[in-house]
Amino acid sequence: MIDQLDCAGHVLDLSRTHVMGVINVTPDSFSDGGRHIELDSALAAAREMVAAGASIIDVGGESTRPGATPVSADEELRRVLPVIEAIADAHLDAVVSIDTSKPDVMRAAIAAGAGLINDVRALRVPGALQAAAECEVPVCLMHMRGEPGTMQDAPRYGDVIDEVCGYLTERVQACVAVGISRSRLLLDPGVGFGKDLDHNLKLIKHLGRIRDIGLPLLVGSSRKRMIGELTGAPMDQRLAGSVAAAVLAAWLGASVVRVHDVRATVEAIKVTDALRATS
């Protein structure tokens, strides 16, 4: 099993669980004034997350929530590049991750200081495998069925775990075929991406079977519909449910949990990791 990930010089030690904080740069306002305020608040959010113990900051400019509409590469770059540059200039003690599926965005983000590619389409966009190979940073390959616009239309699987494992194994092979070493890959079951509640629960409960592929895992269930379905809580009140899901994912083998509420999750993960390390 891989014991560390070298993210463009910033090494993540995989003997413990890492918390990835989410920064979405998906503006409602397209005015320059709005952009400046947004840049300041994104940098402030990144500082706060790192101070709270996040070791990865995931910056994304295209919403992949169910029903979201796609954006152009130019617009995505206009959103994320200033934020990545600002975080890199601030020399925060964290890896910047670029949440994108677009080859041009991958290249520009890595050149601007990002050290990890997080792709919900697992490098399936034409040119993405090649771009990721050239970037020489670790890549998270996530399972998604269909596209964000339609993925939640009655998803059906035979055995959801087998299908997710089969898909991820095929994507690992595609990466290896273009020269991306297995030691640069993370796998993610893609909670909520073309899955109903039962699929999501099975994937987390049986994370060990995905772990058997032999690569480190990333799990993101923070504030997702799954948590709302289980607790009845609206989006802004899913902290306890999200922390529980992060703790259990870590317990069951996730090396990275992707979350919105960094401080609470970091504290909970410290307790989890201490118990995991106890014989």
Q: Which residues bind ligand 7PJ (CB under 6 A)?
A: 22, 64-65, 99, 118, 120, 140, 142, 188, 190-191, 218, 220, 224, 258
Q: Which residue shows structure tokens 């607790």?
A: 231
In the complex with ligand 7PJ, the residue whose CB is nearer, 90 or 242, is 242
Neighbours of 244 (CB within 10 A): 15
Please give the Cα distance from 123 to 126 (Å, whole number): 8
209 is catalytic: no
In the complex with ligand 7PJ, the residue whose CB is nearer, 145 or 224, is 224
Catalytic residue among 121, 145, 225, 258: 258
Tell me, rounded to whole angstroms, the distance of Cα 132 from its chain centroid: 16
Closest distance of CB 278 from ligand 7PJ, Å = 29
Catalytic residue among 171, 195, 224, 225: 224
Report whether 28 contacts 209 (CB < 8 A). Answer: no
- What amino acid occupies position 140? C
Closest distance of CB 64 from ligand 7PJ, Å = 5
224 is catalytic: yes
In the complex with ligand 7PJ, the residue whose CB is nearer, 45 or 275, is 45
Report whether 218 contacts 187 (CB < 8 A). Answer: yes
Closest distance of CB 274 from ligand 7PJ, Å = 25
**Nearest-CB residue to ligand 7PJ?**
220
Please give the Cα distance from 140 to 120 (Å, whole number): 8
In the complex with ligand 7PJ, the residue whose CB is nearer, 45 or 120, is 120
Closest distance of CB 277 from ligand 7PJ, Å = 25
Please give the Cα distance from 37 to 232 (Å, whole number): 33
Report whether 46 contacts 90 (CB < 8 A). Answer: yes
Residues labelled catalytic = 224, 258
